[in-house]
């Protein structure tokens, strides 16, 4: 469970990225790396800034730190001080410093490099971003849109999907339960249906909604 949850976030995103031509995104791919390994000393907290460098905006990263060298030059990873500090074997220059006890993996370094090469576009905090509906990738035979989004990450790990989810599983994951209300899409159906209308179901389940439609708050 823990592994699969991890897989659905960081690892699969990385897998999908390495396998596809999809653009690196700051919030999804780079912010987690910088937050974990750089922002403690180069983040927004003015009292903790080391080397005079902030890496939380392009403007600050272009300006660089005490050396006066631009930490990030969009499109030019080789000329960006950040890449030199990530790649160097010189322990005095290497970032993050050894005493911070964090090491970037080769994949993470490659991802930062690719992000800089692709223009080093920063994004505001995700909570303030207007959600954009992504285009659905090619839907595999016998699959649906969710399968389409999962196909590339699975393929990049040389995994093949299991068969379709069973009717009972679908029912259990969507039925009304305490806590957050089910999505508006499934709610009207679940409160009125007598059986779950899955094709091929050998054991139809009888829904017992715990909350009536009338009590649903908007
Ligand atoms: C524990 C604190 C700490 C962390 C974490 C850290 N750094 Fe640094 N960084 C420093 C210090 C101290 C300096 C100044 C000394 C030096 O230049 O080596 C510095 C300097 C730099 C410089 C040169 C700034 C200039 O122009 O003089 C770059 C570029 C840099 N860090 C990048 C990074 C990146 C990228 C990360 C994350 C992967 C990172 N650092 C994580 C402490 C940190």
pLDDT in tens, 66-89: 999 999 999 999 999 999 999 999
Q: The domain containing residue 198 runs over which residues?
A: 166-218
User: Based on the domain organization, do 7 and 75 belong to the same domain?
Assistant: yes
Question: How much distance in Å is there from the Cα of 200 to the middle of ligand 1?
Answer: 59
**Residue 182 contacts residue 188 (beta carbons within 8 Å):** no
pLDDT in tens, 17-71: 544 568 999 999 999 999 999 999 999 999 999 999 999 999 999 999 999 999 9
User: Based on the domain organization, do 12 and 92 belong to the same domain?
Assistant: yes
Give the integer Cα–Cα distance in Å for 178 and 152.
34
Domain presence at residue 218: yes
Give the integer Cα–Cα distance in Å for 11 and 32.
12
Domain presence at residue 42: yes
> Which of the listed residues 125, 154, 188 is the one where a domain comes to its end?
125
Which residue's C-alpha comes closest to atom 15 of ligand 1? Answer: 51
pLDDT in tens, 132-176: 888 999 988 878 888 899 888 888 889 988 776 655 555 556 565
Which residue's C-alpha comes closest to atom 10 of ligand 1? Answer: 50
* Ligand 1 proximal residues by C-beta, below 6 Å: 37-38, 40-42, 50-51, 53, 64-67, 69, 71, 81-82, 85-86, 93, 95-97, 100, 104
Domain presence at residue 177: yes
Question: How much distance in Å is there from the Cα of 101 to the middle of ligand 1?
Answer: 14
User: Based on the domain organization, do 8 and 112 belong to the same domain?
Assistant: yes
What pLDDT, on a 0 to 100 scale, did the predictor assign at position 64?
A: 97
Give the integer Cα–Cα distance in Å for 182 and 206.
18
Q: Which two tokens stand for residue 162?
A: 């299991």
């Amino acid at each position: 469970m823990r592994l699969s949850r991890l897989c659905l976030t960081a690892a699969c995103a990385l897998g999908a990225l390495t396998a596809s031509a999809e653009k690196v995104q700051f919030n999804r791919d780079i912010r987690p790396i910088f937050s974990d390994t750089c922002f403690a000393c180069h983040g927004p907290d003015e009292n903790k800034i080391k080397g005079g460098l902030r890496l939380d905006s392009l403007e600050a990263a272009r300006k660089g730190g005490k050396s006066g060298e631009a930490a990030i030059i969009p499109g030019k990873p080789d000329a960006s001080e950040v890449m030199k500090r990530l790649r160097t074997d010189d322990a005095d220059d290497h970032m993050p410093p050894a005493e911070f006890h964090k090491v970037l993996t080769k994949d993470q370094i490659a991802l930062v490099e690719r992000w800089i090469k692709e223009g080093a576009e920063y994004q505001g905090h995700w909570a303030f971003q207007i959600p954009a509906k992504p285009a659905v990738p090619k839907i595999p035979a016998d699959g649906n849109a969710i399968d389409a989004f999962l196909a590339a990450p699975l393929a990049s790990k040389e995994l093949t999907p299991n068969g379709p989810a069973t009717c009972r599983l679908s029912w259990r994951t969507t039925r009304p339960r305490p806590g957050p209300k089910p999505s508006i899409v499934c709610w009207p159906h679940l409160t009125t249906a007598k059986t779950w209308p899955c094709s091929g179901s050998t054991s139809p389940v009888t829904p017992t909604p715990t909350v009536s439609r009338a009590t649903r708050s908007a």
